[in-house]
Amino acid sequence: MAEQVAKRQVSVPLMADFAARNEQPEVLFWVGCAGAFDDRYKRVTRAFVRILEHVGVKYAVLGMEETCTGDPAKRAGNEFLFQMQAMQNITTFDGYGIKTIVTACPHCFNTIKNEYPALGGNYEVIHHSTFLQQLINSGRVKVQGGESYKGRRITFHDSCYLGRANDIYEAPREVLAALDADLVEMKRSKANGLCCGAGGAQMWKEPEPGKKDINVERTEEALATLDGNAAALDALYGVESGNAGTTPAPKANAQGSIIAVGCPFCMTMMSDGVKNKERESSVQVFDLAELVASAEGLNA
């Protein structure tokens, strides 16, 4: 189907080009290291750019002028390295007079929004879940004309740095609700959500000795939720909060079920978890931007 649709090549606009023309974009899209280098998350970056192009937002990226926000260094205790990175980025932002930043990474989002102000960098920072929610609510994205998600079972995995860290729980859920899918909640969701295991610089190290990897625990919960498998949910060690309702109706080994994420590290951890449980054939992990771009029929 997609082959028949007219397509055009995107030349992603750089901040430097805007500056050369003495213009300002509406928003800077901060890609982040995972979005720029991680093969899986590059697809999310590209999906998000397709959405930006489709709605005609005047956006720009920093391209090779981007450098790590310093988040992993700060979480690991290397405050010196964090501040060096932060100051460098603040210099870049302020050099271009940037006011508004959108990013698909909750870690970049949290760091720039909450931790740069103490170092003199003050910007309006928007996570892409909120940005997509606004595009859908204002009717600029109709979530139609592409792949249909109607009736497909989706569960959203809350990222710590989006949820508990910044109290953003509804935006990603509203985006998913627009897909008209069969949304199901894990028992540990929203403020009680369980970490995927990657935060706090765990992404770059082996876990400490234990009984289980955190991403496996979380994936088991997601799979049991998608399957509506109450027995498997009860068997999980940590589910005792009694929060967020009941087990969804059983849907054994449901084909085409989706774990939705809004964070590159959660993407890696949940995908690895699904592989670990050998469920890749029935369950896929997608970012919100990928789901929206595909539902809108923007992939080419």
Partner 1 sequence: MIQQILFFLVAAAGIGLFAWQVRKIRANILKGKDRAMGGPVSERINKTLLVALGQQKMFKRITPALLHMVVYVGFLVINVEVIEILIDGIFGTHRVLSFLGPVYDALMAVNEVLGALVIVAVAAFWWRRNRTQPVRRLTGVEMRAWPRLDANIILYIEVALMLALFTFNTADLKLHQQEGVELPGAFPISSLLVGLFPDSVTALHMLERIGWWIHITGILAFLNYLPSSKHFHIIMAFPNVYYSRLVPQGQFSNVDSITHEVKAMMDPSYQVPPAPVDADGQPVVQRFGAKDADDLSWLNLLNAYSCTECGRCTSVCPANLTGKLLSPRKIIMDTRDRIEEKYESPLIFQPNKYDPETERVKVDEEGSLVRGKVTPEELWACTTCNACVEACPVNINPLDSIIEMRRYLVLEESAAPNSLNVMFSNIENNGAPWAFSPSDRFNWADELYVAEK
**Which residues from 27-56 bind partner 1, rule CB under 8 A?**
31, 33, 35-38, 42, 45-46, 49-50, 53-54
**Which among 33, 50, 29, 161 is positioned nearest to 102, based on CA atoms?**
29
Radius of gyration, CA atoms only, the chain: 19
Binding of residue 232 to partner 1 (CB under 8 A): no
**Which among 128, 213, 137, 214 is positioned nearest to 178, based on CA atoms?**
137
DSSP 201: T
Binding of residue 115 to partner 1 (CB under 8 A): yes
Binding of residue 64 to partner 1 (CB under 8 A): yes
Contact 252, 279 (CB under 8 A): no
Contact 300, 55 (CB under 8 A): no
Q: What long-range pairs does 230-237 form, CB within 8 A, spacing at least 24?
A: 233/187
Strand partners, 258: 154, 284
Strand partners, 155: 184, 259
Residue in 243, 247, 282, 284 binding partner 1, rule: CB under 8 A: 243
**Which among 68, 43, 59 is positioned nearest to 11, based on CA atoms?**
59
Binding of residue 8 to partner 1 (CB under 8 A): yes
Residue in 132, 186, 198, 270 binding partner 1, rule: CB under 8 A: 198
Question: Can you list the alpha helix ranges (DSSP code H) found in 138-285?
Answer: 170-177, 214-227, 230-235, 264-276
Contact 267, 287 (CB under 8 A): yes
DSSP 14: B
Within 139-168, which residues bind partner 1 (CB under 8 A)?
Answer: 145, 160-161, 164-167
Which of 174/213 has CB closer to partner 1?
213
- The minimum distance between CB 189 and partner 1, in angstroms, equals 12
- The minimum distance between CB 216 and partner 1, in angstroms, equals 8
Binding of residue 256 to partner 1 (CB under 8 A): no
Binding of residue 230 to partner 1 (CB under 8 A): no
Which of 148/282 has CB closer to partner 1?
148
Binding of residue 280 to partner 1 (CB under 8 A): no
Which of 124/253 has CB closer to partner 1?
124
Residue in 20, 21, 97, 118 binding partner 1, rule: CB under 8 A: 118
Binding of residue 9 to partner 1 (CB under 8 A): yes
Binding of residue 19 to partner 1 (CB under 8 A): no
- The minimum distance between CB 197 and partner 1, in angstroms, equals 6
Q: Is 182 helix (H, G, I), strand (E, B) or coil?
A: strand
Q: Could you tell me which stretch among 74-82, 178-186, 227-235, 274-282 binds partner 1 (CB under 8 A)?
A: 74-82
Binding of residue 248 to partner 1 (CB under 8 A): no
